Chains A and B, each alone.
Chain A
Amino acid sequence: MWAYLVRRLLLALVAISGVLVIVFFLSHIIPGDPIAAILGPQAPDYVIEDLRHRWGLDRPIPEQFVRFVGRLVRGDLGTSIATKRPVISDLRQFFPATIELATTAIIVGALAGLAVGIISAVAHGSWLDHTVRFLSLIGLSMPVFWLGLILLLVFYYWLGVLPGPGQLDIFIARPPSVTGMILLDSLLARDSVALRNALGHLVLPALVLGSHALVGIARITRASMLEVLGQDYIKVARAKGLAERTVILRHALKNALLPIITVIGIYYGGLLEGAVLTETVFAWPGLGRYATSAILSQDFAAIMGVTILIALIFSLANLVVDLAYGFLNPKIRYE
């Protein structure tokens, strides 16, 4: 088990290094000028040249790469050209908001997706199954951006039961930052006003973001459950007179879980990358908007910082999913 873990971590390191090399060179060779993009059309050329020199962007690309790697091994992700702050500070500020949103979204998506998938599989071929599949198709086809705006229109503007854009009402003081996540920080500060308000603000973006995960998880749950429900041991369980609920939840679901866990892991990794459209509609100060703005302005240090973070997230998500297999299926051995 430990040997497996070490081997997987080393492999992850190789994969992350590969991703870094590719992203670094790709981002540097595509046309565009980050300094010009940030300063806009009106800054004089000599200001652009001066800043390009100050940021080391006038050096050959291989030299810039060596400098980047040199900083990286010292734990320095560099400074963002756009925000003028260390990238690590930016990530520390924006990533917690994304963790908070993505975690809530995946909980909503996974729980609802499992429930919908199981119901659909058990009622296979019935009107209930068809309805669920039809709604899933609609859910999958609905653009996140549009869904977000519709929910804002209905629950914020028409009904007035949920707050509008933002992570917290502007009149409410943000609790002291410990984790950077408002929910946790509110709990730690025992600030019930901020907690309730932050929860309210989380509902719509989490629903929007969770809806796509919900549909994907529901579909894989249904397919996996249908396969398992056709197995002989399920017939035996039923023949033994076990209650249908026991057959479904204890025997069928447990054996159907492996692909479902994989999909949940992939979705969670994807959500942690940040969801730029959801974050934009709901004014959520997360990683998605930071990453998009970095890409649009060719903010190299920020692009590399976000790349490292995303590569780490996916490597860890994959590892956790693989380890979860062992707990769910004792036949799996790590060698």
Chain B
Amino acid sequence: MRGRYYLALLLLVVLALLPATAGGAPGRVPQNVLVIGRIIGDVVSLDPAEAFELTSTWIDEHLYETLVEFSRDFTRAVPGLATSWTVSADGKTYTFTLRSGVKFHSGNPVDAKAVEFSLRRAMRLKLQPAFILTGFIKNPEDVVAISANQVRITFNQVMPEILMTCVLSNPVASAVDPALVQKNATASDPLANKWVAENDAGSGPYILRRWTRNAVIELVAFDDYWGGRPRMGRIFVQDIPEPTAQLLALQRGDVDMVTDLLPAQFVQAAKEAGLVVKTSPQFALRYLAMNVGYEPFSRVQVRNAVKWAIDYTAFRRIFEDQIDIGQTIVPARMFGHLPDRPYSKNLDRARALMREAGFERGFKAELLTVPDPPLPDIAAKIKEDLAQIGIEVEVKVLRSADILAAYRGRTHQMVIARWGADYPDPDNLATALADFDARVLAYRNQWDHPIKRTVQQAVQELDRAKRDAMYRQIQKVVLDEGPYVIIGYPLRLLAMRANVKGLDPSPLSVTYGMWGVVKE
């Protein structure tokens, strides 16, 4: 009897599953809907005062707006919520005049008080991205609504317009609906961070309809958007963590675009009819860092021997052409970029430098990398190249958490790492890579060079030509003496259905708004 019971149960399970197979057959995405397959597990909070991960800041760019934005070439500010602005004679105080008639998604007006409230809120919450504001604005009270449509912001230093734009176009400087914040505030959370983290309080072209963690984010077009209703009525960002599953969903037409394929899969997608791969530059670096605190690397000759021993042409091949090759710390297309590429594989020169440094017999060094493809292959190639000048490299593939702990703790010897520009200005890279006092990458690699003074001066230089010259000088010094081998500037790749048009990604890490996208 029991056997029959089991068999009956099995039959029941099979019968239960069969109809589902018909019901689950996938369909195509409607014309006015855009579906993006992407890893969204990094979304922790959608509160612009807290969002700091790639996907959350990208989503926030659709939900929220800032006073100013960058022009397409990143050379000047263009109007956002503010239509115009003036700067004081000392270059520290900006007064912004707001666009009239702009509304939050709730219908409340975006006025000067709302902007004052939002910036002060972000500074008072002191969450991860707050440093972008507090680094340049001393007190929350330095942001003041001086009339219904005018806001005055006093910075703690001279602010060239480009640097002001870097700070105020960041999502952390977004306008947040004060009425909604106050309505959802609690005694323990007076600025409603928990509520804003999961809900919408913005004025951007899209409204957040739902966010199911590790599953889907749904945005709907904001009908009353001052810039006109976006063409895509709805955008779904579906969590698909596995690259092959992303590709299959794209090929089936269940998603219009995917972002996280493996390098070889992008190559495959580019060859397939009905799919296109959009490649765009990024303001980002892949680099090999040498810790000057490790005795051999304290000699500039050894650091340069490494630079002369490496076969740079292999990097492009290993990255499947998905990287721009360059050797200076300011990426191509960014203001101040120095296009010099003096290094190529020259073993005689490298060996001579090793001899000059007293290391003709070589030494041992540990190289850290994360397991993300193709970095272990890059590490293996570097190991092979450096073996030719007597440097015996031991590659260690570790979790990102372990590598960051070693890197911040300055206990590494060599590490392969990445830097994406927080804002599109050479100051971001120069400060990180050449200013020891800023306690970022130069500090972590224990490279304290007098060029840091130039870095500190360049950020406040108002004359554009002089500033450009200063950044070129900084790059030259880093190229000649610094502890970095620049592997290249990684490209951003997006694979999409051929009927998706109008996408124009910017070189910043996250910015590629979907409000201009159409489907033919």
Contact = CB atoms under 8 A, between A and B. Distances in A.
Contact of A296 (B2, B20, B24, B401): B401
Contacts of B35: 170
Interface in B170-225: 197, 212-216, 218
Interface residues of A, number: 73
Contacts of A289: 41, 214, 241
A145 B10 CA distance: 26
A112 B419 CA distance: 52
* Interface of chain A: mostly helix, strand, loop or mixed: helix
Contacts of B21: 161-162, 200, 203
B251 A165 contact: no
A41 B407 contact: yes
B465 interface: no
Nearest to A207: B17
A228 B10 CA distance: 24
Interface stretch (A152-160, A264-272, A318-326): A152-160
B16 to A, nearest CB: 7
A44 B401 CA distance: 16
Interface string B1-42: 111101101100100110111111110000000010000010
B252 A36 contact: no
Interface in A23-79: 31-34, 36-37, 39-48, 50-51
A48 B213 contact: no
Max chain B Cβ within 10 angstroms of own Cβ: one of A32, A114, A245: A32
Interface stretch (A4-12, A134-142, A249-257): A249-257
A163 B1 CA distance: 37
A43 B16 CA distance: 51
Contacts of A308: none
B100 interface: no
B142 interface: no
A88 interface: no
Chain B's interface size range is 35 or more
A164 B244 CA distance: 11
Contacts of B215: 166-168, 283, 285
Contacts of A91: none
Nearest to B440: A44
A41 B254 contact: no
Interface string B315-332: 000000000000000000
Interface stretch (B147-155, B232-240, B275-283): B232-240
Contact of B405 (A36, A44, A114): A36
Contacts of B240: 165-166, 283
B264 to A, nearest CB: 15
Nearest to A93: B213
B73 interface: no
A47 B128 contact: yes
A165 B19 CA distance: 18
Contacts of A200: 20-21, 23-24
Contacts of B23: 193, 196-197, 199-200
Contact of B241 (A47, A114, A170, A283): A283
A246 B443 CA distance: 78
Contacts of B405: 31-33, 36-37
A283 B420 CA distance: 28
Given A32-B399, A203-B17, A40 B241 contact: no
Contact of A31 (B50, B214, B402, B420): B402
B45 interface: yes
B259 to A, nearest CB: 14
A245 B3 CA distance: 9
A36 B401 contact: yes
Given A41-B418, A149-B245, A36 B408 contact: yes
B13 A111 contact: yes
B472 to A, nearest CB: 24
A157 B252 contact: yes
Contacts of B212: 174, 285
Contacts of A161: 21-22, 24-25
Interface in A86-101: 93-94
A282 interface: yes
Nearest to A44: B131
B184 to A, nearest CB: 16
B47 to A, nearest CB: 10
A219 interface: no
A248 interface: yes
A111 B420 CA distance: 52
Ranked nearest first, the 3 interchain pairs of A and B with the lowest CB-CB distance are A200-B24, A249-B3, A37-B401
22 contacts: A31-B405, A32-B401, A36-B404, A42-B420, A44-B439, A83-B44, A107-B13, A108-B13, A111-B9, A156-B26, A157-B252, A162-B21, A164-B248, A166-B238, A166-B239, A193-B23, A197-B23, A250-B1, A250-B2, A283-B239, A285-B214, A290-B214
